[in-house]
């Protein structure tokens, strides 16, 4: 639950997509990564949780043990981090953002609502924070059940958390209503294109 204190060298822009689980943000982010003109690269989050299904280390997440994750927190290695559930941490490594910026690309995130807002707070001018809004809580539950990756208890925890997360939507720069995926994809592409092609305000 902390924002990093040590400075990080700024180069590109940061595009954050956040939403409750099952809202479709991952589908939107994957689409945007396929648009070469946007010059984006995905920021791989770190997590202390176990792999699910066919997830691959260093591709889907940096899978770190709980002990090592806490050591990374102590050494200020994260740009932001969050204990989403007890002993279930997620975070953005500073080294990951620096790696992407070193290639001359912009960074795109698919992260928790709290983490997205922390990045926006730390880099207000360089960040476009987008909230993806699902049609309804009931639809979210249906989508999560279709995944067949989690227990009913875990799904119910996510649904309870989603109600809280939906209330944060007004704190984001933009809200995309994912009621129709094709419409949402076009809107997301337009928003990101405008942002990455606009100049970053110079600081006095």
Q: Which residues touch 135 (CB under 8 Å, ≥6 apart)? A: 177, 178, 179
7-11, long-range: CB < 8 A, 24+ apart = 8/79, 8/94, 8/97, 8/98, 9/98, 9/101, 10/101, 10/123, 10/126, 11/101, 11/102, 11/104
pLDDT of residue 117: 95
- As a whole number of Å, the CA-based R_g of the chain is 16
Q: Where are the domains positioned within the chain?
A: 8-195
Q: Which residues of 142-173 are buried (b: 16+ CB within 10 A; e: fewer)?
A: ebbeeeeeeeeeebeebbebbeebbeebeebe
The pLDDT tens digits for 90-138 are 999 999 999 999 999 999 999 889 899 999 999 999 999 999 998 777 7
The pLDDT tens digits for 130-144 are 999 987 777 777 767
3-state secondary structure 85-130: ECCEEEEEEHHHHHHHHHCCCEEEEEECHHHHHHHHHHCCCCEEEE
pLDDT of residue 8: 63
User: Would you place residue 203 in the very low, low, confident or very high pLDDT band (cuts 50, 70, 90)?
Assistant: low
Instruction: Give the range among 141-150, 153-162, 183-192 with minimum mean pLDDT.
Output: 141-150
> How far is the C-alpha of 130 from the C-alpha of 116, rounded, in Å?
9
Task: Quickly name the fold that domain 8-195 has.
Answer: Rossmann fold (3.40.50)
pLDDT of residue 204: 44
pLDDT of residue 37: 96
Mean pLDDT of the chain: 88
Q: With beta carbons less than 8 A apart as the criterion, state whether 184 and 178 touch.
A: yes
> How far is the C-alpha of 155 from the C-alpha of 151, rounded, in Å?
6
Q: With beta carbons less than 8 A apart as the criterion, state whether 2 and 80 touch.
A: yes
């Amino acid at each position: 639950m902390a924002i990093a204190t040590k400075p990080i060298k700024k180069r590109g822009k940061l595009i954050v997509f956040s939403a409750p689980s099952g809202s479709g943000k991952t589908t939107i982010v994957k689409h945007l990564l396929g648009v070469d003109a946007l010059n984006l690269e995905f920021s791989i989050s770190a997590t202390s949780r176990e792999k699910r299904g066919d997830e691959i280390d260093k591709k889907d997440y940096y899978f770190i043990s709980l002990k090592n994750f806490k050591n990374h927190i102590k050494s200020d290695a994260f740009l932001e981090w969050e204990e989403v559930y007890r002993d279930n941490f997620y975070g953005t490594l500073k080294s990951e953002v620096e790696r992407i910026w070193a290639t001359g690309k912009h960074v795109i995130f698919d992260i928790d609502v709290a983490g997205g807002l922390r990045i926006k707070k730390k880099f207000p001018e360089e960040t476009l924070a987008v909230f993806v809004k699902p049609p309804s809580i009931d639809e979210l539950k249906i989508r999560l059940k279709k995944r067949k990756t989690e227990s009913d208890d875990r799904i119910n925890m996510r649904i309870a958390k989603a109600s809280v997360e939906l209330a944060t939507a007004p704190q984001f720069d933009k809200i995309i209503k994912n009621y129709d995926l094709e419409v949402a994809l076009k809107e997301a592409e337009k928003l990101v294109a405008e942002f990455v092609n606009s100049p970053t305000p110079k600081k006095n």
